[in-house]
Amino acid sequence: MILLLLRLVAAIVIAYLVGKLVSKVKLPAILGWLIAGMILGPHAFSLMNQEILDANWYETTVHILECAVGLMIGTELVWKQIKKSGKSIIITTLTQSLGTFLFVSLVFGVVFYFSDIPLYLAFIFGGIALATAPAPALSIVREFKTDGPVTKALIPMAALDDMVGVVVFFTTISIIASNISEKKLPAYLIVLVVVLPLIIGVVTGLLAGVVLKKERKAPATIALLIGTLLIASAVGFLFNNYIMPKPVLNFMLIGMAFSATFANMVSEERLEQIMENFNPILGLSMIIVILNLGAPLDYHLILGAGVFTAIYIIARGLGKYFGALFGATVTNSPDTVKKYLGLTLLPHSGVSLVFTGIAVSVLTAPAPECAKIIQGTIAAAAVINEIIAVIIAKKGFEWAGEFNKKADVTNG
């Protein structure tokens, strides 16, 4: 285990340095971390080999750090600040997520009809496509200190989008599984996967709010925050590993609900102090979570990507962009939100790979050919889309004029 730990530490250091190099050419550091993950993962140099990725201690660590990254979303969900734009964010979330589901399903429905492939597969593609991976976009927000209408819309949307994604995907896969497979997913799982992380986060967040409310020195604040965050993660592990029929809980959602709860219990000044103290840990968490996104991606798939992969990437991109544009137009959101929000929603890989794994496990026995189509298409799309999406998301914030706005406010 010590050797594996040293390998992981070496990978983190290399990812950090690659991120710094990538930043020099005005690209987001996250792109460097992602590429480092692919190069150091099991499909290339294997510094982060399959043994590390499959190790329980590694999976546990990543889930805790996903919880920590969730703090970046939750601490922005202060009720006083979001109630003005809450309605427009909910409507835009629904239009871009459900719009993507319907558009991708329709496109693949036509393609599969003429390719003599079962049409239900189109709806599985749609269910996988609507999910957004919040960590890449949040990393750009953090690195380039973005602030403005697009950033303010994106952060709460990152949490809501995951919830809609889980409901739509699990509903879709449950209906399909009940018709073609003996491996049925229980209906209550859909509710549990969405509601349980929120309940765990809120309950443990109440405890955090009580102990963090009083001003303390940085070491005591960090110790209390880490302690309560570990409690939130531990409760998540308990349910994920021993109570849920499948280990599918979203730990970033737990962290989001946890931090949103205590963020609404402490003063604005205290919240700023807490997050300032937590910043170095958040930075390290981001690197490891993105490194973990990159490691399973096989760069060889870029060469083998077929027509389905190209259709998937383009259809999903159009669904996200025009779905966000429609929602922002209906709710009279600022022009920058209409034009650029959709571009920041393109990162995809983490959630899509989880959904793909579940879909493949359901389809392998009754429809092995369909399982192969999903696995090959989404795996290749995850590699290609993630590299393109990170660059486009960065340009979206840049074109919206939101770079370095937080620094300007602080300095001004």
What DSSP letter does each residue of 261-290 carry, written as one string? HHHTTS-HHHHHHHHHHHHHHHHHHHHHHH
Can you give the residue ranges of every domain in the chain? Answer: 2-411
Residue 85 confidence (pLDDT): 63
pLDDT value for 78: 67
What's at 289, amino acid-wise? V
pTM beyond 0.85: no
Write the secondary structure of 203-248 as one string of H (helix), E (strand) and C (coil).
HHHHHHHHHHCCCCCHHHHHHHHHHHHHHHHHHHHHHHHHHCCCCC
For the chain (412 residues), the mean pLDDT of every run of 10, in chain order, is 91 94 85 89 91 92 91 74 73 94 96 93 94 82 90 83 84 83 66 85 95 91 95 94 77 89 90 91 90 82 79 95 96 94 86 79 84 84 84 93 69 40
In words, the CATH class of domain 2-411 is mainly alpha
Show Cβ contacts of residue 234 under 8 Å, excluding neighbours closer than 6 positions.
Answer: none
Q: What is the pLDDT of residue 330?
A: 95
Cα distance between residue 412 and residue 403, in whole Å: 15
What type of residue is 65?
L
Q: Which amino acid is at 105?
A: S
Provide DSSP, 340-386. Answer: HHHHHT---HHHHHHHHHHHHHHHTTT-HHHHHHHHHHHHHHHHHHH
Query: Which string of b and e fits 30-55 if b means at least 16 CB within 10 Å?
Result: bbbbbbbbbbbbbbbeebbbeebeeb
The pLDDT of residue 208 is 94
Q: Which amino acid is at 129?
A: A
Token pair of 180 as six digits: 């073609």
- Looking up tokens 């995809």 gives 348
pLDDT on residue 221: 93
At 398 the pLDDT is: 94
pLDDT at residue 51, rounded to an integer:
92
* Three-state secondary-structure class, residue 182: coil
Q: How far apart are CA 257 and CA 262, in angstroms?
A: 9
Q: Look up residue 280 and give its two tokens.
A: 């170095």
pLDDT at 366: 85
Length of the chain: 412
* pLDDT for the residue 411: 40
Residue 409 has what pLDDT? Answer: 39
Among 374, 381, 376, 380, smallest CA distance to 355 is for 374
Interhelix angle 120-129/86-115, nearest 10 degrees: 150
d(CA 267, CA 270): 5
